[in-house]
Amino acid sequence: MLVTVVAGARPNFMKISPIIKAIKAARRDGRAIDYRLVHTGQHFDQKMSGEFFEQLGIPQPDINLECGGGTQAEQTAAVMIAFERELIANRPDIVIVVGDVTSTLACTISAKKLCVPVAHVEAGIRSGDMTMPEEINRIVTDSICDHFFTTTIHAGNLLKENGVDQDRIHFVGNTMIDSLYQNLDRLTQPRFWDERRLSSGDYFLLTLHRPSNVDDSTKLLEFLNAILDGTEGHKIVFPVHPRTRKTLETARFESERLIQVDPVGYLEFIYLLKNCRAVITDSGGITEEATVLNVPCMTLRDSTERPETIEIGTNELVGADPQNLAPYLTKLAKGGWKRGSIPELWDGKTAERIVKVLLREYGTHDLNLNRTVAKKVSVVS
Ligand code: UDP
């Protein structure tokens, strides 16, 4: 069987890396499975893409669709057109999409319109916040895909409530956490560590990139001021997302304690996360990594699609109002932060489980036969 694996943006790369490793391992064991890696080009520069391929040992993509930039609709359309061409030229038995980025949605639509089955990794999670482009991507992807690989029982239950048959829901765990475990003994101290006199347990880590938090400079500066007010005596390491950089360039916010750096590579970021006092973020994936590493995490959003990070993890939903932050920082300073535990099946073996399911469902498809069929397929009009 041939599996086309899609990746487009930063949070996809740590999710596909273990899947590709597991496919390669199954192939080494003599199973008839191969993959084709498609990079849509949604994130394209070295800091948001190239570095992750190098650090996570992801092979060079078989094709880069070079669909970076543009509005939501422009990018969705560009990826759909380019991915349709790719599927016609190299028809797989199944497409794997991960997460909730524009490429996830666009590639799912193109594949389904060509009657190619799609498996969604990280299916069934919902924030309930329809102002997030990611929520729309999740809902549309899950409404038309064929197989649902879920990170929690909660996500599976939500899919069942939405009418998805139990036999298409596969509770496998979290491939992002596979990557975390695979790289824990390879972490790298960032180059600025000594220069900025950082020491373990003494600094906060900050990431912000949700449009609702960073596009308006007044809101962004209110957040930075609230964070600085509540963290006196501590440095704040702030790898600045390109979207946030745009706003900060006009706002020109400076503080000696706020260490603004470019986005850092995965191995450096996890090093920073593992050693920080707490992480303040509006990311989804980082709340999962903080939970597994038992690092206090404050989420600057009103909702989360990952409730397990709050219910049993180290995450607290602070909200999108900068004024909310102070009591949480006080709680941390008093040593009162909860200890978390690790959600079920977040054990580093998720990608193996995914490949087992794929082999069970599509394992009888012969690789060479599939490639012959691919040449005969034309566009459905
Ligand atoms: N990350 C990274 N470098 C950074 C910031 C984040 O490697 O400077 C990693 C982080 O460890 C996690 C992923 O990027 O694995 C999360 O991506 P992001 O916050 O962009 O996306 P989200 O999870 O919110 O969709």
How do beta strands 203-207 and 118-121 pair?
A: unpaired
pLDDT of 364 over the 90 cut: no
Which atom of ligand 1 is closest in space to residue 134's alpha carbon? 25
Question: What's 2-174+346-362's CATH class?
Answer: alpha beta
Mean pLDDT, residues 24-40:
97
Cα 292 to ligand 1 centroid, rounded to whole Å: 15
Q: Are 42 and 101 in contact (CB under 8 A)?
A: yes
Distance CA 379, CA 381 (A): 6
Cα 363 to ligand 1 centroid, rounded to whole Å: 33
Active site residue 365: no
Give nearest CA residue, ligand 1 atom 9: 266
Question: Does residue 264 line the site of ligand 1, with CB under 6 A?
Answer: yes
Which pLDDT band, with edges at 50, 70 and 90, does 341 fall under? very high
Q: What is the pLDDT of residues 138-158, one digit of tens each?
A: 999 999 999 999 999 999 999
CATH number corresponding to 188-333: 3.40.50.2000
The larger pLDDT score, comparing residue 374 to residue 174, is at 174
Measured from the Cβ of residue 9, the count of other Cβ atoms closer than 10 Å reads 21
Report domain extents, the chain. Answer: 2-174+346-362, 188-333
Which atom of ligand 1 is closest in space to residue 285's alpha carbon? 23
Question: Does residue 284 line the site of ligand 1, with CB under 6 A?
Answer: yes
Residue-averaged pLDDT of the chain? 94
What pLDDT does residue 214 have?
97
Question: Does residue 283 line the site of ligand 1, with CB under 6 A?
Answer: yes
Q: Are 49 and 94 in contact (CB under 8 A)?
A: no
Q: Is the pTM of this model over 0.85?
A: yes
What are phi and psi for residue 21, nearest 5 degrees?
A: -60, -40
For the chain, give the percent of residues with pLDDT over 90: 93
What pLDDT does residue 363 have?
82
